[in-house]
A and B are shown apart, each in its own frame.
Chain A
Amino acid sequence: MDSHLNELALKELLYRIADDLLILGHRNSEWTGIGPLLEEDIAFSSMAQDKIGQSLALYELLHQLGEREPDVVAFMRNADQFHNCQFVELPIGGYEFSLIRHFLYDHSLFLRFQALSNSSYEPLAALSRKLVGELRYHVLHASTFIKQLGTATEESISRLQSSLNEAIPYSLGIFEPSPYEKELIDDGIFSGEQELFHQWWSVVNEILGKTALEISQVDQELAKTGGRLGQHTEHLQPLLDEMSEVIKLDPSAEW
């Protein structure tokens, strides 16, 4: 790396994506066995496996930059050391909320990895090129279901709309700027949260335009931020406790 500062900026970026993937992967896995239909049960389980595996690949990159081993980083930190946005830690709620979150979040992730495919940090660029291919399936899945259920019945539309209203302020927190925004952009590591937000906004609205759903109003003041700085809702710590139950009982256990 060129300088100390660049490395801090890069690590912060890697942590925010890796932590998002780990936590959302864990949330998705909560659908295993209780999905509303078999295919959706499998889809959410499969995406959970993808996301947790992708977080591992990012924690490996962090490990190569001098951070601790992936298992230690994933299981031994407290909530205030996590850089994920608050959106991903919210409970799964009803299927309609999980679907809306999957739609809003995964489109941002797909666009993020597309941007990072050109990162000046080559190990991240290589991994991102790979992940874009995999995430095409996640966004295809999300958009298909949103288009179907968002035009289906009065009940499906009103339930999705109310989840969308609830999710929007949290989804804005995905794009909470990094303290190193300028360094990331100047060094060509990442094109920045603001640009990502604008791309995401146009994609999400284009798809919602084909449904009866709409984003009524967006007030950036209401954005649920703080997650990137370690400020979380009351839902994160219990999730971490559950995730690390085995390793804390017996750090040498294999599972």
Chain B
Amino acid sequence: MVSTYQKEDVLLWLAEVMDPEIPVVSLIDLGVIREVSVDAKGKVMVEMTPTFVGCPAMDYMKKEVEQVLTDHQVKDFEVNVSFESQWSSNDITDNGRAALKKFGLAPPPKYQLIPDLEILDQVPCPYCDSDNTTLNTPFGPTLCRSMHYCHNCKQAFEQFKPL
């Protein structure tokens, strides 16, 4: 039997699976879904990797992906979580960055090789774009967020940490 769906269809379905903590960014834009393939018999393979190794939402995200595949009548699928390819904040798409900013979360700056953590001290404020900001603490309400303060608009804000 030839499957009625292609990889592109699966990608469209999965584009609706959002990060449970940041419900405006899809797992594809976040870079958590690494690879999707459909074989000749219609079996769907999805490779995922967590942002942070200890991310408690990983199981939940995997189940969401499986649910979406089931909802679209995919009978045969395999969703794998591994560290074979390691997530970095550079993997967040431009689309994802724009969504983060709109959500009030400063997107992580893109970096080359190793992120210099001094960049944490002048993160542009997601509300007023000022870089007159300081890092309050590299640890925030979730593993992937740091906390900052903007001296221009006098508001606290969070950043998705560069990793």
Q: How far is the CA of A46 from the CA of B137 in the complex (A)?
A: 11
A39 in contact with B139 (CB, 8 Å): yes
Closest to A51 in B: B54
B88 an interface residue at 8 Å Cβ cutoff? yes
Majority SS of interface residues in chain B?
loop
B37 an interface residue at 8 Å Cβ cutoff? no
Q: Which of A50, A130, A141 gathers most chain B CB within 10 Å?
A: A130
Closest to B54 in A: A53
Q: How far is the CA of A131 from the CA of B52 in the complex (A)?
A: 8
Shortest C-beta distance, A166 to chain B (Å), equals 26
Interface size grouping (class) on chain B: 20 to 34
B68-101 contacts to A, CB under 8 A, are 83-84, 86-88
Q: How far is the CA of A123 from the CA of B84 in the complex (A)?
A: 7
A129 an interface residue at 8 Å Cβ cutoff? yes
B38 an interface residue at 8 Å Cβ cutoff? no
- The one of B53, B88, B143 in contact with A46, judged by C-beta atoms closer than 8 angstroms, is B143
Number of interface residues of A (CB under 8 A): 26
A157 an interface residue at 8 Å Cβ cutoff? no
Task: Render B114-157 as a binary contact track against A, CB cut-off 8 A, 1 for contact.
Answer: 01010000000000000000001111110100010000000000
Q: How far is the CA of A134 from the CA of B144 in the complex (A)?
A: 9
Task: Render B5-37 as a binary contact track against A, CB cut-off 8 A, 1 for contact.
Answer: 000000000000000000000000000000000
A56 an interface residue at 8 Å Cβ cutoff? yes
B163 in contact with A46 (CB, 8 Å): no
Q: How far is the CA of A255 from the CA of B99 in the complex (A)?
A: 32
Shortest C-beta distance, B47 to chain A (Å), equals 13
A126 an interface residue at 8 Å Cβ cutoff? yes
Query: Can you list the 3 inter-chain pairs with the closest CB atoms, starting with the nearest?
Result: A53-B54, A46-B139, A39-B137
29 contacts between A and B (CB under 8 A): A39-B137, A39-B147, A42-B137, A42-B140, A43-B137, A43-B138, A46-B139, A46-B140, A49-B54, A49-B56, A50-B53, A50-B54, A50-B143, A51-B54, A52-B54, A53-B52, A54-B53, A54-B54, A57-B54, A57-B83, A126-B86, A129-B86, A130-B53, A131-B53, A133-B86, A133-B163, A134-B53, A137-B117, A141-B138
Interface residues, chain B, CB within 8 Å of chain A? 52-56, 83-84, 86-88, 115, 117, 136-141, 143, 147, 161, 163
Interface residues, chain A, CB within 8 Å of chain B? 39, 42-43, 45-47, 49-54, 56-57, 123, 126-127, 129-131, 133-134, 136-137, 140-141
